[in-house]
Amino acid sequence: MRSNLKVLVAQKSQREKRRISLRTVVAETGINKNTIYAIANDTLREYPVDVMTTLCEYFNCDLSELLFLEDNEEAPVAP
């Protein structure tokens, strides 16, 4: 599972013609700083529903635009 958070931040910044950083997202959503940075850096193991809902509302996007499955060539292939 990978995050598109940084892309969504850049798109919102461009759309709203203002600088938006991850700190801005933290301040405007109330989501814990460590959680936002973990999502952005793809180090979060579990994605809390309330956090994902808040981010989708903030970015006006679907969950599939925020998170996506990445093909992993190293993963074993089932027979």
Sequence spans of domains, the chain: 2-66
What kind of fold does domain 2-66 have according to CATH?
Answer: 434 Repressor (Amino-terminal Domain) (1.10.260)
pLDDT(3) > 90: yes
DSSP string, 30-57: ---HHHHHHHHTT--SS--HHHHHHHHH
pLDDT of residue 7: 96
pLDDT tens by residue, 14-63: 999 999 999 999 999 999 999 999 999 999 999 999 999 999 999 999 99
pLDDT of residue 72: 62
Q: What is the pTM of this model?
A: 0.84
